[in-house]
């Protein structure tokens, strides 16, 4: 491709370090889409003849079908996807192929291809998140009033509803989705036509190529256009936060499915067995999802580190951008799909959840609130009295609702029998009607809101 200036071919090691075709072949479709848009624009501007443009168009479609059909011979000597495609085009259509590279460079080409690829991944992540949110809403609807323990410090705190817990994840994944949506809006400017770095002397129409490729507008500075990889970094940062959320949820599923908790049963379809212990049913998918953050955060750190300190405009360092993003995107998509499947298939063990909800003095706050509300006690005093009642129950080896009225009155003589109403877990959750609280009515309102938003 640059034989004019060179007397000798590259050393084998040079070729090995330089070539990107081993991985950037994944950009073939985007590369051909970009070339088609570019050729059509060149013809419309009178820079290419219509017959050359037509030959290029047909030839590119043939190349694409060869690549998609698996018959294309990729060559490392041709370095990357751009030159592999162009070289094959030359074999198919001859001379017009040599005119395709007019008014562009591999620098704006690769930026365009990669942006198109990352944009698709942003769309895929948003779709995957939507599906996961729908699965969570399905669980929330089924169990809007099932009670379970809510934890802080992984110690029983207060009873909550299953639906409330599921909807907490809906909020988290909705923020992830909106991060991808924000990034997509910001990145949707087309680098094509920035050429090597300075623009071109040909009368190109960058609005036309931008529109043909689904961009909102051409990128406004050619130096920035070829040197920018923020779109990949924003994808990776959004993916990292999403992977962190997936990891947290996966951890809960691991805990909940253990023999000690038995809050949920994961389906056989999303579990594995042990080769030695016949009783085992392992939450491998959840564990792997919990781990995916490692490589996704790794990709994020790797690309930030590659980009750090690079002068304008293009540097070959930037070829190191792709593998990390490919790997992160593949794994994020898989993790989202696996989580969605697990959530759809899992069964909540309602009786176990309810038994656990009432243990660990989970309604102690309800008791303290009752003392404030009914006996007009200052909250700090109520906290103290309740603490003494918890201690009494602990000494007796029972839970708060199992204390007798006489037990209660031994700590505070003004306590009456109605106190027992607030000690039941269903009453406890039903009372938490503040906006965003765990009461089934509040949870149902949130489910309705989200169903409308996702419809």
Q: Which residues would be at the binding site for ligand ARG (CB under 6 A)?
A: 20, 24, 80, 106-107, 110, 314, 316, 318-319
Q: Which is nearer to ligand ARG, 80 or 228 (CB)?
A: 80
Q: Are strands 217-218 and 189-190 parallel, antiparallel or unpaired?
A: parallel
DSSP 138: H
> CB of residue 287 vs ligand ARG: minimum separation in angstroms?
35
> CB of residue 449 vs ligand ARG: minimum separation in angstroms?
44
Q: Which is nearer to ligand ARG, 129 or 306 (CB)?
A: 306
> CB of residue 23 vs ligand ARG: minimum separation in angstroms?
9
> CB of residue 300 vs ligand ARG: minimum separation in angstroms?
19
> CB of residue 455 vs ligand ARG: minimum separation in angstroms?
41
Q: What are phi and psi of 159, to 5 degrees?
A: -65, 145
Count Cβ atoms within 10 A of the Cβ of residue 94 and give its class: 0-12 exposed, 13-18 middle, 19 or more buried.
Answer: exposed
> CB of residue 226 vs ligand ARG: minimum separation in angstroms?
9
How far is the C-alpha of 143 from the C-alpha of 320, rounded, in Å? Answer: 47
Cis peptide before 135 (omega within 30 of 0): no
Give the residue numbers annotated as catalytic, written as ranges.
Answer: 153, 274
The alpha helices in 278-321, defined as continuous H runs, are 284-307
Q: Which is nearer to ligand ARG, 88 or 106 (CB)?
A: 106
Q: Compute the Cα dihedral for 289, 290, 292, 296 and give only its sign.
A: positive
Q: Which is nearer to ligand ARG, 107 or 247 (CB)?
A: 107
Q: Which residues contact 331 (CB under 8 A, 6 or more apart)?
A: 292, 295, 296
Q: Which is nearer to ligand ARG, 225 or 241 (CB)?
A: 225
Q: Which is nearer to ligand ARG, 316 or 380 (CB)?
A: 316
Structure tokens at 386: 């309740």
The alpha helices in 8-80, defined as continuous H runs, are 12-18, 21-24, 28-44, 50-69
Any idea what the Cα angle at residue 315 is, between residues 106 and 102, rounded to 5°?
Answer: 20
126 to 140, 234, 351: CA distances (angstroms): 21, 14, 35
| Residue among 256, 264, 254 nearest 285 (CA) | 254
């Amino acid at each position: 491709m640059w034989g004019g200036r060179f007397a000798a071919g590259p050393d084998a090691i040079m070729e090995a370090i330089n070539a990107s075709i081993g991985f950037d072949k994944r950009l073939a479709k985007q590369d051909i889409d970009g070339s088609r848009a570019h050729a059509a624009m060149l013809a419309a501007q009178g820079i290419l003849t219509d017959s050359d443009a037509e030959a290029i168009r047909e030839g590119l479609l043939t190349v694409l079908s060869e690549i998609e059909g698996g018959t294309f011979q990729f060559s490392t000597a041709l370095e990357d996807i751009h030159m592999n495609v162009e070289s094959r085009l030359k074999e198919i259509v001859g001379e017009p192929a040599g005119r395709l590279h007019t008014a562009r460079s591999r620098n704006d080409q690769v930026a365009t291809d990669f942006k198109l690829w990352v944009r698709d991944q942003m769309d895929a992540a948003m779709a995957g998140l939507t599906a996961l949110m729908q699965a969570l809403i399905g669980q929330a609807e089924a169990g809007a009033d099932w009670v379970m323990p809510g934890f802080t410090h992984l110690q029983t705190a207060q009873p909550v509803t299953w639906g409330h817990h599921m909807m907490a994840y809906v909020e988290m994944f909705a923020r992830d989705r909106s991060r991808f949506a924000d990034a997509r809006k910001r990145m949707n400017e087309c680098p094509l036509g920035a050429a090597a770095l300075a623009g071109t002397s040909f009368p190109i129409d960058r609005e036309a190529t931008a529109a043909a490729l689904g961009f909102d507008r051409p990128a406004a500075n050619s130096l920035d256009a070829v040197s920018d990889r923020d779109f990949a970094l924003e994808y990776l940062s959004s993916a990292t936060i999403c992977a962190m959320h997936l990891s947290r949820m996966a951890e809960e599923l691991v805990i909940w499915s253990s023999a000690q908790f038995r809050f949920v049963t994961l389906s056989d379809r999303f579990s594995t067995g042990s080769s030695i212990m016949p009783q085992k049913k392992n939450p491998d998918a959840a564990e792997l999802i919990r781990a995916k953050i490692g490589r996704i955060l790794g990709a994020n750190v790797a690309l930030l580190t590659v980009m750090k300190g690079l002068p304008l405009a293009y540097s070959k360092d930037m070829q190191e951008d792709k593998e990390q993003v490919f790997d992160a995107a593949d794994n994020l998509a898989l993790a989202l799909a696996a989580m969605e499947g697990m959530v759809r298939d899992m069964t909540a063990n309602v009786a176990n959840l309810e038994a656990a909800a009432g243990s660990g003095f989970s309604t102690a706050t309800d008791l303290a609130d009752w003392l404030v509300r009914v006996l007009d006690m200052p909250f700090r005093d109520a906290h103290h009295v309740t603490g003494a009642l918890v201690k009494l129950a602990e000494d007796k080896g029972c839970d708060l609702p199992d204390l007798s009225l006489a037990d209660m009155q031994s700590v505070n003589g003004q306590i009456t029998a109605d106190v027992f109403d607030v000690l039941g877990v269903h009453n406890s959750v039903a009372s938490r009607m503040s906006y965003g609280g765990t009461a089934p009515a509040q949870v149902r309102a949130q489910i309705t809101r989200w169903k409308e938003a996702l419809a």
